Amino acid sequence: MEAYIEISYLVASLSFVFGLKMMGHPDSARKGNLLAAVGMFLAILLTVFLYQKNGHGLHNYAWIFTAIVIGTVLGAVSAKKVDMKAMPQMVSLFNGMGGACAAVISVVEFTYNEGLKTGSLMSTTALVILLGTIIGSISFSGSMIAFGKLQGYKAIEKPVTFPGQFFVNNLFLLASIVLGVMVMMKSNQAEASMLFYALFGTALLYGILFVLPIGGADMPVVISLLNSFTGMAAAFAGFLYGNKVMLTGGILVGSAGTILTVVMCKAMNRSLANVIFGGFGTASGEAAAGGAGGVYKEISPSDAAMLLKYSSKVVIVPGYGLAVAQAQHAIHEMDKLLEAEGVEVKYAIHPVAGRMPGHMNVLLAEADVPYPKLCEMDDINPDFPSTDVVIVVGANDVVNPAAKRDKSSPIYGMPILEAEEAKNIIVLKRGRGAGYAGIENELFFNDKTKMLFGNAKDTITQLVSEIKSV
């Protein structure tokens, strides 16, 4: 029987690996997701029915399957109903639940593990439990704060800062580590338990303080970082139970999240420490017409349609505003209409556009935009000088030339999509406010830039109608 379990766990682990590989390309992403889900379902069934600990299996099947059914229904309904602008919140929420599970596993094991009750706490098992508690708790509470920021809760939407915050945050982190060491040094179980629950609470508080001062423009990095924390916590749980498939899944999630975090920090030309402690997104800028940047120059939908129809090359730069307006289908319709007129159309994707990693890729994939038309920043930047029209739809900071020229700007040094190099620039924007980073965009006052204000979906629908009538 043991051999069958190990082989089945190997099959489930391989499904995670191949599923993750398939998710790297939109054409196979859905199949990859399904493959990984089948592997997870297999792993759950094997664990429920065949898992043994100290010669005993699981017997509380009613509770287990009730929880599985409730979670499945809630997850399926939520995923079905969520719109693309709320997808980052859902990712944060689901990630937080993963961190919470890992933390609860550690708490339960510390409380009921027979080896800890009868033996020394200075052991590998105790260390793994403590690490799982700290990392899982930080992931849970941090993800909940990220969810609140993305959801727009006014009390925490903007960076929350106070004097001495750096010191206080690090004090909580240090306290968690010190408490962990003290727990392992205790021989009295009752005293160790008090310190352990103090550690649990301290880690939860640190997770809150960790995310509170981070601005909205850094949310993609924060989400991927917290995702890596959840993966590590799950890996510790797998190690704790000797469950190889849980260990494999946790390692994959943790390593993927870590790599993605590093890639995104590189795309912003900032260190991870700067993201966490730099307070990015706290700057306030004036984006009103006639402000320090200059005066907006507007264009009518009919003139914009004429310019687009008689162009040779058009590049579309999508941003969070595209998701808010749910305009991905409309932009794809315009894209197809222009291509029918002989216009070459591409999409320029910045690594941190949107509110989560890959937000724009997922958004455009939902509208069936062909993947080859989505170009990464380094690939598309050389094309801008030969581009007749760049259409910026709801993007702001990722096309702001201040990142290249203004050393006082919070985004100085961040690689951007060089839309200013195009021959003509049309910006679709809801209003005259600043972007999510809270700073003014020089591009909007460029002599080549024309503004189209209003809801992006309505504006693009107008453009489609005008292009057809030209």
225: three-class secondary structure by DSSP = helix
Question: Which of left, alpha, beta for 152 (phi over 0: left; psi -120 to 50: alpha)?
Answer: left
Phi, psi dihedrals of residue 299, rounded to the nearest 5°:
-135, 145
**Which residue in 192, 196, 200, 149 sits closest to 172, CA to CA?**
200
DSSP string over 238-294: HHHHT-HHHHHHHHHHHHHHHHHHHHHHHHTT--HHHHHHS-TT------STTBTTB
> Per the residue annotation, which of 397, 406, 447, 458 is the catalytic one?
397
Contact assessment for residue 57 and residue 64, using Cβ atoms and an 8 Å cutoff: no
- Other C-beta atoms closer than 10 Å to the C-beta of 72 total 10
User: Quick check: is 83 catalytic?
Assistant: no
* DSSP label at residue 374: E
Structure tokens at 252: 């994959």
Question: For 163, how many CA atoms within 13 A lie in the half-sphere containing its CB?
Answer: 0
**Which residue in 170, 282, 272, 255 sits closest to 221, CA to CA?**
272
- Give residues with Cβ within 8 angstroms of 352, minimum separation 6: 217, 220, 221, 264, 267, 268, 398
Give catalytic residue positions: 397
